[in-house]
Amino acid sequence: MIRFENVTKRYADGTTAVDNLSFEVAEGELVTLVGPSGCGKTTTMKMVNRLIEPTGGRIFVDGDDISATNPVELRRRIGYVIQQVGLFPHKTVLDNTATVPHLLGIKRSAARARAAELLELVGLDPSVHGGRYPEQLSGGQRQRVGVARALAADPPVLLMDEPFGAVDPVVREHLQNEFLALQKSVRKTVLFVTHDIEEAVRLGDRIAVYGQGTIEQFDAPAAVLGAPATPYVADFVGADRGLKRLSVTPIEPGDLEQPPVVHLDDPLPATLPGWAVVLDRDENLHGWISAGQAATARGAVREHARRMEARLPVGASLKQAFATMLQHDAGWIAVIDEAGAGRFLGVLTPARLHEALRRSTAADARDIPRDEVELDTVSGR
């Protein structure tokens, strides 16, 4: 549906924004272009609707070489959504959405009826929001209007340039989910630009990871995450891959260290190597004592033991373990049995956590079904 053939864009000042790019987006496919700022994503996108002309190569939309098409007609076939939305401030939401059908010569009443349908499609109530002005909407609602307006002429192709980039993470996740649901029903051919690998992975059927004006890897999300084609791609997706693994790897009994143990009713030992875990009569976790206390104090362990708040049940994720360490500023956390009063099983240290993470890396990404590739987000769903 969209095909790039050796496309290059060199700006007048000599900047090569896009360098001999070739790729294809199938009909009904959603491809995300992801990469750091300045890597050529927007330039790529604007060449598709001829807001920017390439300096080399050819671009085809639905089989037509677009250099030979009338730009105005071309843009009718291509919806365009940008971060700044570009709504008319003096027009109501309904009139903003009806602009394109109206321009296409559809009668005003029919255009407004179509606009109302579109607003509903993007989750806005036309009777509530239709009469408002853009400044009376939240950022997320404005982005929804932007999507509705881009869909107004029912174009087969949608270009979306960081459309959800300006809204907060929770709203962004809502918009992403809504857009995915919408795309399931409208099945547009979509080029979606983002600098956020998490967004790219969540939305894309395939992802194009950009280097400088070139595509480093063009593949399904799981393949990009699991088998990065180049060190650059590995680095770019790196942080999220690691966090994803942390959140899906459970603490196992074999990961645990066995520190010295004392019991509540024991007399304080004269010496301790560092510290010891304190258990009650039933081997349940009570707390800990330090070597310093053991050396200077007298009496039973019970009188000196401190509570151990940094504790988790076995089976909790390594991500929870890491978060618990940070929360309590603890060099280790106690791991207890999931059932009952919490029988002590051992402690997890940062070194053991690292080892556990390495044990989890074996999976071959090409075998991971797409549905299972889901990254945690800041909203902590």
Give contact residues for ligand ADP (rule: CB under 6 A).
11, 13, 15, 17, 35, 37-43
CB of 14 to ligand ADP, least distance (A): 9
Of the pair 11, 88, the CB lying nearest ligand ADP is at: 11
Q: Provide, rounded to whole angstroms, the least separation between the CB of residue 42 and ligand ADP.
A: 3
Q: What backbone torsions phi and psi does residue 298 show, to the nearest 5 degrees?
A: -130, 170
Instruction: Give burial (CB, 10 Å; 0-12/13-18/19+) of 68.
Output: exposed
Residues in the chain: 381
- Measured from the CB atom, the residue of 207 and 314 that comes closer to ligand ADP is 207
Which long-range contacts does 364-369 make (Cβ < 8 Å, 24+ apart)? 364/226, 364/227, 365/222, 365/223, 365/225, 365/226, 365/227, 366/222, 366/223, 366/226, 366/227, 368/222, 368/226, 369/222
Lookup result for tokens 């997890």: 348
The entry of ligand ADP, Mg ion, none near residue 109 (CB within 5 to 8 angstroms by kind) is: none
Q: Between residues 35 and 126, which has the closer beta carbon with respect to ligand ADP?
A: 35
- Distance of alpha carbon 47 from alpha carbon 151, whole angstroms: 20
Whichever of 209 and 279 has its CB closer to ligand ADP, that residue is 209
Collapsing DSSP to helix, strand or coil, 294 comes out as helix
**For Mg ion, which stretch binds (CB under 5 A), given 41-49, 99-107, 184-192, 249-257?**
41-49
C-beta of 17: minimal distance to ligand ADP in Å? 3
Smallest separation, CB 335 to ligand ADP (Å):
45
Rg (C-alpha) for the chain, rounded Å, is 28
Tell me whether residue 25 or residue 208 sits nearer to ligand ADP (CB atom): 208
Q: Choose the contact partner of 13 out of Mg ion, ligand ADP, none; CB within 5 to 8 A by kind.
A: ligand ADP
Cα gap 250→232, rounded to integer Å: 29
Report if residue 194 touches Mg ion, rule: CB under 5 A: no
Please answer whether residues 347 and 274 qualify as being in contact, where contact means their C-beta atoms are separated by less than 8 angstroms: no
Q: Which CB, 134 or 163, lies closer to Mg ion?
A: 163
Choice from 32, 42, 96, 194 touching Mg ion (CB under 5 A): 42
- For the bound state, the minimum distance from the C-beta of residue 16 to Mg ion, rounded and expressed in Å, comes to 16
Q: How far is the CB of 52 from ligand ADP (least distance, A)?
A: 8
Q: Which is nearer to Mg ion, 46 or 352 (CB)?
A: 46
Report which residue's Cβ sits closest to Mg ion. 42
Instruction: Please give the structure tokens belonging to residue 320.
Output: 């929870």
Question: If we measure between CA atoms, which residue out of 213, 245, 248, 210 comes closest to residue 229?
Answer: 210
| Cβ neighbourhood burial of 229 (10 Å; 0-12, 13-18, 19+) | middle
Stretch that binds Mg ion, among 37-45, 85-93, 135-143, 259-267 (CB under 5 A): 37-45
Q: What are phi and psi of 264, to 5 degrees?
A: -55, -40
17 makes contact, choosing from ligand ADP, Mg ion, none, with CB < 5 to 8 Å by partner type, with ligand ADP
In the region spanning residues 257 to 296, those forming contacts with Mg ion, defined by CB under 5 A, are: none
Residues that bind Mg ion (CB under 5 A): 42
